[in-house]
Amino acid sequence: MSRRLLASLEHVARRLGIDPHQYWHLLRASLLVDFRRQSAVASDQPTRSALLMTCLVFGLFSLVLALFAFRTLSSFHYSLLFLAYSMLMIAFIVLSEFGATIISPDDYEVLGPRPITSRTYFAAKLSNLLFYVVLIGSSLNIFPALMGAFSDFADRSFPLVYFPVALLAGLFSAMLVVLLYGAVLRVVNYEKFKDVLVYIQVVFSFFVFFGYQLLLRAMPHLEQGQHGGGRRAILLTPPGWFAGLVQVGLGQWERDYLLWAGWGILMTGVLVGAGLRSFSLEYSRHLAQLRAVTAERWRMRRRLRLRALERLLGKSPEERVAFFFVRQMLRRNRTLKLRLYPALGFPIAFVAIGILEKNLTDPFLSSSSVSSVVFFTALVGPLLVLNFHALLPYSEEHGAAWVFRVTPVRDLSRFFAGVKKAFLVSILLPLFLLTGGLFSVFWAPAHAFLHAAFSFVLSYLFLGIVFLFYRGGFPFSQEPAKMVQTRQMALAFLSMPLWGAMFALMYILYRHPKWMFGALGILLLLGWIVNRAADQKAARATMAQQEWE
């Protein structure tokens, strides 16, 4: 029986232009490669454990959220909430973590000259992707599905209806991303494509961190909305279509639900069809295009601007070299970007939380209290400083650091000054502008930028203090070590009293704004002194390390 089934499946595959033998071995190899590859988010873990951890965390978060929601929302809004979140997460995961599953440059080199049809290759890649979609989709939806059976709308058949619909919605999300890849590859080269992926990963890490926080706070608003006229508008979104499908499955045959459920099924069919037909037939061409040599057009104007900035900020050649090097690494190194850039989204998230909690009043006004959200935005800078300090000595490209060891660096302390200036200009300055800009929507612009300036100066002082503990070594000159995060945690723990003092100072200054400018001047001077001392300390530690080597 099973042999006959297998034979008929093989027959169908051949009719679709898929070689079953090659399909199976390609799928097996790509899963093997995936499981042995290092995860992008949890770089020190192999994919298997990272995937397991991701599923566990998603499962746990969904359980917590379901506990909050299952007695509060109607079945439609309950489905909508979880479907929206799982579709978004699946889309981001496919884009960021499993991008290589869809488009792998290795495949181009290895499989390009082998006798494999595009359809066989694409079928193997799609199956590989669906494996993850089902796994992650299940972890995101299993608890919401089960809890739904015990909700106020208490339909015992809810899990049986919701769960398959959630997987279908996951498939829709994944296919949308696959087609998006195809579209992006038509217009950008591979280097640009990798950059786009890193930025998507940055947004994804941000969502992982803040998504549930925002959802929990958005729930009461959703609850109010269900009695209003917003339902039709909600149904215009893809999660709305699938929530409508759940309602139809539960026997609620209202006209809106029927319409959007049908629309959802139709769109999934269209997307899967489009992915399988056009994309698979053109897949080889896409891969070839991916690696095609495209002349890098170096923008002369940009180079001149950077040179002018170097001269402005760097007094000595050592300082300019370090500034240029670290700035370029901050712009191009994938690990650094993934670890540092998501924090730039934190002020946006804190402001969103402030809006949802209706707790975003101007702290400089004597009538208002100082909100915790305001304190937290000032914490982002020191948090980034800690991360930067921990990441600075390590890189996958550490082998190239011999260049520092054979080059006569006259003044190492100036070198470290350049390193820190690059961080200030590339990370802390944009953070300062973003924070000021965001708060100026809600407060007087002068107050908003004064708050941002205060946060910036505190971060500058904190940068000096943290670098007093720098263990030495040229930037990005050591192999990534596993204990980095533990050390970073220890330093974060030790700096707790400092953060407490910072909060107290902020509170006092917001109550007495006229002291603010004086305080800023004193902190800036203190920061300069501490940073100079830290540069010299880092230089001595690096020299000692070199002598030891």
Partner 1 sequence: MGDAMIEVSHLTKYYDGVPAVDRISFTIARGEIVGYLGPNGAGKSTTVKMLTGILRPTEGSILIDGLDLLREPIEVKKRIGYVPETGGLYESLTAYEYLQLVGRLHHIPDEVLDHRIEEFLRTFGLEGVMHERLSSYSKGMKQKVLISAALLHNPKVLFLDEPLTGLDAHSALLLKELLRYLAAEGKTIFYCSHILDVVERTCTRVIIIHKGRIVADGTVEQLKELTRQDTLEDVFKQLTYSSDIEGLAQVFARHILERDA
Q: Which DSSP string corresponds to 277-346?
A: IIIHHTHHHHHHHHHS-------HHHHHHHHHHHHHH-SSHHHHHHHHHHHHHHHH-HHHHHHHGGGGGH
Q: How far apart are CA 503 and CA 378, in angstroms?
A: 9
Question: Which amino acid, residue 519?
Answer: A
Q: Does 36 help bind partner 1 (rule: CB under 8 A)? A: yes
**Residues 79, 58: Cα–Cα separation, whole Å:** 17
**Residue 41 or 526: which CB sits closer to partner 1?**
41
Asked if 117 interacts with partner 1 (CB under 8 A), we say: yes
Q: What whole-number distance in Å separates Cα of residue 534 and Cα of residue 467?
A: 5
By CB under 8 A, is residue 483 in contact with partner 1?
A: no
User: Footprint of partner 1 on residues 76-105 (CB under 8 A)?
Assistant: 105
Comparison of 51 and 111: residue with beta carbon closer to partner 1: 111
Q: Which of 4, 115, 221, 482 binds partner 1 (CB under 8 A)?
A: 115
How many residues in the shown chain lie near partner 1 by CB under 8 A?
27
Give min distance, CB of 34 to partner 1, in A: 9
127 binds partner 1 (CB under 8 A): no
Rounded to whole angstroms, how far apart are CA atoms 30 and 16? Answer: 21
CA distance 527 to 455: 13
**CA distances in angstroms from 262 to 82, 177, 246, 247, 275, listed in the order given:** 20, 22, 11, 12, 20
C-beta of 109 vs 152, nearer to partner 1:
109
By the rule CB under 8 A, 27 interacts with partner 1: no
Closest C-alpha to 357, from 341, 337, 371: 371
Is residue 408 at the binding interface for partner 1, with CB under 8 A as the rule? no
Residues 6+ apart with CB under 8 A from 91: 173, 174, 176, 177
CB of 29 to partner 1, least distance (A): 5
109/357 with CB nearer partner 1: 109
* By CB under 8 A, residue 33 contacts partner 1: yes
Task: Give the nearest distance from C-beta 205 to partner 1 in angstroms.
Answer: 24
Binding residues among 265-294 for partner 1 as defined by CB under 8 A:
285, 288, 292-294
What token pair was written down for 461?
């002082």
* Residue type (1 letter), 243: A
Q: Does 186 bind partner 1 (CB under 8 A)?
A: no
> Measured from the CB atom, is 113 or 399 closer to partner 1?
113
Which H, E and C letters describe 66-128, residue by residue?
HHHHCCCCCHHHHHHHHHHHHHHHHHHHHHHCCHHHHCCHHHHHHHCCCCCCHHHHHHHHHHH
x-or-dash pattern for partner 1, window 300-319, by CB under 8 A?
--------------------
187 in contact with partner 1 (CB under 8 A): no
7 binds partner 1 (CB under 8 A): no
Q: Does 396 contact partner 1 by CB under 8 A?
A: no
Amino acid letter, 5: L
Q: In this structure, how many other beta carbons lie within 10 angstroms of the beta carbon of residue 295?
A: 6
Looking at beta carbons only, is 108 or 193 nearer to partner 1?
A: 108
CB of 120 to partner 1, least distance (A): 9
**Could you tell me how far CA 337 lies from the centroid of its own chain?**
10
Candidates 114, 299, 301, 514: give the one binding partner 1 (CB under 8 A): 114
In angstroms, what is the minimal distance from the CB of 268 to partner 1? 32
* Least separation in angstroms between CB 107 and partner 1: 9
Residue with tokens 């880092």: 538
Q: Out of 13, 26, 84, 102, which residue is the one contacting partner 1 (CB under 8 A)? A: 26
CA distance linking residue 70 with residue 296, whole number of Å? 54
Q: Is 209 in the site for partner 1 (CB under 8 A)?
A: no
Residue 112 Cβ vs partner 1, minimum distance, rounded to whole Å: 4
Contact footprint for partner 1 (CB under 8 A): 21-22, 25-26, 29, 32-33, 36-37, 105-106, 108-117, 285, 288, 292-295
